[in-house]
């Protein structure tokens, strides 16, 4: 018996290989959940370049590896598409018990004075507004079902601390802390918990791009030197792994976490202590 036998889970931004979303979806599926793999499917504008998003073919390949999984294309910037994603879970799998807001933009990094209004809006629209729409859509279904539920946002160490060249990203993740604290108060009486998971740096496909970018920003001799310096400042002496975040999400979605809500859980190997 898995912890999530009979449960239906939606994971946004789960259509990229080696991403946090894939790891989360696979972990939930391994423990019995029927998972909806969701991503934007194709580049739609300058803010969603092809190399940084989950394409439909990649989504399908990930879903094919998970028993009972399905796929649903969704641009989380559009509340109608987010509601349609929730409806897909109900129509295809018979309900909705777990919703993970994982979709995010972490590849628009620039010095403060170079950030454009379009850059700012793109990050806030996906990372903060997209989570807001997801919370609303998931809660609407969960309240109607009357059996509670679990909603988890993938925030970041940047929800707790500031980072150069990441003004919009950091603001969006800090915003998730306030959003979660407020929304959890209203959802608690319905038996719905709402929490954030805050990982430090994880070398996913996006993380590899960030490694190269920030190695240049700090003047490291190489990416390897940059990563070694990162590991040296982390008490556990390594950056995070996708599975570290996936395991934290699974815990917050489980019955063991039934009395935990409005929290922002660090998964940082001790690098982020507050």
Catalytic positions, written as ranges:
169
Closest CA to 156 of 173, 168, 142: 173
Widest Cα–Cα separation across the chain: 56
For the chain, the three-class secondary structure string (H helix, E strand, C coil) is: CCCCCCCEEEECCCCCCCCHHHHHHHHHHHCCCEEEEEECECCCCCCCCHHHCCEHHHHHHHHHCCCCCEEEECCCCCHHHHHHHHHHHHHHHCCCCEEEECCCCCCCCCCHHHCCHHHHHHHHHHHHHHHHHHHHHHHHHHHHHCCCEEEEEECCHHHCCCCCCCHHHHHHHHHHHHHHHHHHHHHHHHCEEEEEEEECCECCHHHHHHHHHHHHHHCCCCHHHHHHHHHHHCCCCCCECHHHHHHHHHHHHCHHHCCCCCCEEEECCCCCCC
d(CA 61, CA 200): 28
| Bridge-based pairing state of the strands 34-39 and 8-11 | parallel
């Amino acid at each position: 018996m898995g912890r999530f036998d009979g449960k239906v889970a939606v994971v946004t931004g789960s259509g990229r290989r080696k991403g946090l979303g894939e790891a989360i979806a696979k972990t939930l599926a391994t423990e019995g959940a029927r998972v909806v793999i969701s991503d934007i499917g194709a580049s739609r504008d300058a803010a969603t370049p092809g190399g940084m998003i989950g394409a439909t073919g990649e989504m399908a390949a990930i879903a094919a590896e998970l028993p009972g999984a399905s796929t649903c294309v969704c641009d989380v910037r559009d509340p109608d598409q987010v509601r349609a994603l929730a409806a897909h879970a109900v129509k295809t799998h018979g309900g909705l018990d777990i919703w993970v807001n994982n979709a995010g933009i972490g590849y628009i990094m620039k010095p403060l004075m170079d950030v454009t209004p379009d850059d700012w809006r793109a990050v806030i629209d996906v990372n903060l507004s997209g989570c807001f729409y997801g919370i609303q859509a998931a809660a609407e279904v969960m309240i109607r079902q009357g059996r509670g539920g679990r909603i988890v946002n993938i925030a970041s160490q940047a929800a707790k601390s500031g980072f150069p060249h990441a003004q919009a990203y950091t603001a969006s993740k800090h915003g998730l802390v306030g959003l979660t604290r407020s929304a959890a108060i209203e959802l608690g009486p319905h038996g719905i918990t709402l929490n954030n998971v805050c990982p430090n740096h994880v070398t996913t496909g996006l993380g590899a791009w960030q490694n190269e970018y920030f190695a240049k920003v700090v003047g490291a001799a190489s990416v390897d030197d940059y990563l070694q310096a990162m590991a040296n400042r982390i008490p556990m002496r390594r950056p995070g792994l996708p599975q570290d975040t996936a395991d934290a999400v699974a815990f917050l979605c489980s019955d063991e976490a039934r009395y935990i809500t409005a929290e922002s859980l660090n998964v940082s190997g001790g690098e982020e202590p507050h």
